[in-house]
Chains A and B, each alone.
Chain A
Amino acid sequence: MQHKQTEQRFANDLNIVSLISVGKHPQSGRERRAEQDGRAVELGMSLNAENLTVLHAGDPQQNALRSYAGMGLNSIRVLEMDPAADAIAPLSSYLKQHSPDIVLAGVRAESGESSGMVPYQLAEQLGWPLVSRIADIISVEGGVAEILQALPRGQRRALKVRLPFVASVDNAAQEARQSAFGPASRAALDLQSTQSTTDVIRDEWSEAPARKRPKRLKKVKATTAAERFKAATAKAQSDGGKVMKNEPAAEQAQAIFDLLLEEGVLR
């Protein structure tokens, strides 16, 4: 596994930016390396470790940034701003200025609003295509990237897209490597100050710890006692399913096969 990263899958001139945010542990609520952002950094490192810029917009004092650096990064670039402010403007002006080939981000942040809009808004402002939920980048040849997109139910779709593009990295991508303390403390934080506007709309919202959602109950609309009794006790009745009893096996198999085709599960 380790030599795979060192051998470098692609040419050195590929410019990649991985966006990182401060994660939050789902149980303890502690700050940590965000799961999907870690995968975005991992994917960036496996593509081109030399020319990878790991970019964060927010508070440079966050300890969680060090856990990204511990993956073996020399430096992390931080656009200094109030963590509650809107990160889109500084990020897009940075990306316009540096014009990388690939921008990688997680699907949704683990803190704040966690709306997952950052990659979409960046793509809109830059006018680049957006690829959602990627699992891997297979190759980049002649300015065209071949991408594996993660679909629900463990499926994958192959896509081709011209550079530059923005991509959000799914949980199906390669897991982030372990973070080591030594490299984490040695890595440099490359600070840039930015102009940020406070998020006025968000100030009007109120936040509270998540309430448990009520479980949906099965509603029984019965008009007679017999129906209510049946709803409470009866087993599921056959609801008009087709039964093939005396047909030859070939015909039965054909019926099954037709249903599978109709449902589109045969690929």
Chain B
Amino acid sequence: MSDIIRRDPRTEWIARNRLHPLHGTVSVSDEVEVRGPSGLLRKNPHKVGFIGPNGIKRIDRLKGNAAASGKGRKGGAAAEVQLPLHQVENPDFYIVVVPDMVGGRLTGHDKDMIGQAHKLINGLQSSSDEKGAVLAVCFGESKEEGFDTAGVDRLLLLNGDEYQGYCPEQQLAALVQVENTYQPKHWLFPDSVNGGADLGSRLAARINERPAVQAWLVDNSTTLSRGAGGTTDITRGTPRLLMLAEECAEPIDETRHEALDIELEHIPTVIAQLQDQGQVAVDPNAIPLGEAEFILSAGNGIHNWDQFHATATALGATEGASRVAVDDGFMPRFRQVGATGTWVTARVYLAVGISGAIQHMQGIGQCDKIIAINTDAGCDMVKGAALSTIGDSEEILAELNKLAENFRQQQADGSDQDAA
């Protein structure tokens, strides 16, 4: 068959003649664009567009992108795009990253570090035809679901009993085993107070590597790191073990990775010299607001302040307040959250009766999970929250107080039994 589309005079004639019995088969079609009998593409203007919600015909000139811009039809086209999968079949070398996994999830710092690992791999691959993979070693329980989009090619998850609690010596033994098994090209640690710097220093001392700490501009040949308490820049050759500063590289966002689970055998069990006695109860209100982990914040919707303080104590939360609550004299000025007050970094922010003025939302921009208790379902705080409950704050706080007190009671019973 040739590709040339030939005119068909008979079909053309039938298409012109609306009384012809075959007319319906030729011209009527549900499709918008039809190849006409003359071989040209014909548009049926009656089929273009759709009937809008108010009964008026609408033509979508954004070609289906309207859903992505937040307006128009919901769902459908908004389904997320699958990123291309990056596969490494048989890696010739590994770069090992040890993320902090604060609260069981990858932090922004961890993702930057994985981005840095891929940057190093790309540099190494450009000079030779060996394939490299990023191996992430994670300790303890993991709640992370986005290892693939964060850029992890291989995942070693160590969450046995011996890795529960604070166990740097056992973790170090596992890392030494990784070192012996895989001989990674580089070791990357986040230079953070969440344990990355500690573990990295332990490994560096054990395998006798000289690390670069607070490294912030790293490529395959040279590393720029902060020295002298952050007041100087040291330029040096890139060492095998790096402790990376925050925002050292862009995180991975254009590819999906395999995150294949791997097993590591023969990890020796170490007799711990450091015995973890558990966390000590700290007065939550003695923690500076800016670094508190869990904040219970009060706004204009609170009427029973005694109940609010009681709930904060029962939950063990640091107290915060919106501007209104402070201006009305219910809370001290240093408890104010927002642009004029403190910019908080809490992992969980429970906002009670705060509708979410833009100055307040700026102040809580760094928080991971926001929970809102409010009477207005349309307020900005509810829009930004991971969980929102619409109802009277006094009732909900009373129930929450009960639950928290039960929980504390159970905890006390449990520890009594342990002691007995």
Point out residues on A near B: beta carbons under 8 Å. 24, 26, 29, 108-117, 120-121, 123-124, 129-133, 146, 148-149, 151-162, 165, 201, 204-211, 213, 216, 219, 223-224, 226-227, 229-230, 234-238, 241-245, 247, 249-250, 252-257, 259-260, 263-267
Contact = CB atoms under 8 A, between A and B. Distances in A.
Interface string B143-175: 000000000000000000000001011000000
Nearest to A144: B275
A208 B233 CA distance: 5
17 contacts: A114-B227, A120-B202, A120-B204, A121-B205, A124-B205, A129-B169, A132-B198, A154-B292, A159-B274, A159-B275, A201-B210, A226-B69, A236-B383, A252-B396, A253-B400, A266-B316, A266-B404
A101 to B, nearest CB: 14
Given A26-B229, A253-B400, A263-B347, A242 B386 contact: yes
Contacts of A247: 389
B2 interface: no
Contact of B387 (A153, A204, A205, A256): A256
B377 A115 contact: no
Interface in B205-230: 205-206, 210-213, 216, 226-230
Given A113-B227, A256-B400, 9 more contacts: A121-B205, A152-B291, A158-B278, A213-B247, A250-B399, A256-B389, A257-B404, A263-B348, A265-B348
Interface residues of B, number: 89
Contacts of B373: 252, 256
Interface stretch (B24-32, B234-242, B256-264): B234-242
Contact of A115 (B213, B276, B282, B396): B213
B292 A226 contact: no
Contacts of B286: 154
Interface string B320-359: 0000000000000000000000000001101000000000
Contact of B390 (A156, A160, A207, A245): A245
B371 A209 contact: no
Interface in B169-214: 169, 193-194, 197-198, 201-202, 204-206, 210-213
Contacts of B226: 114, 210
Interface string B285-318: 0111001111000000000000000000001110
B412 interface: no
Given A129-B274, A155-B293, A204 B237 contact: yes
Contacts of A219: 250
Interface string B391-420: 110011111101110010000000000000
Contact of A156 (B216, B273, B279): B279
Interface centre among B226, B233, B382 (most CB of A within 10 A): B233
A117 B204 CA distance: 8
B281 interface: yes
B385 interface: yes
B388 interface: yes
A133 B198 contact: yes
Given A209-B231, A243-B390, A263 B369 contact: yes
A257 B236 contact: no
Interface stretch (B39-47, B60-68, B84-92): B60-68
A116 B230 CA distance: 13
A266 B70 contact: no
Given A264-B103, A265-B294, A157 B279 contact: yes
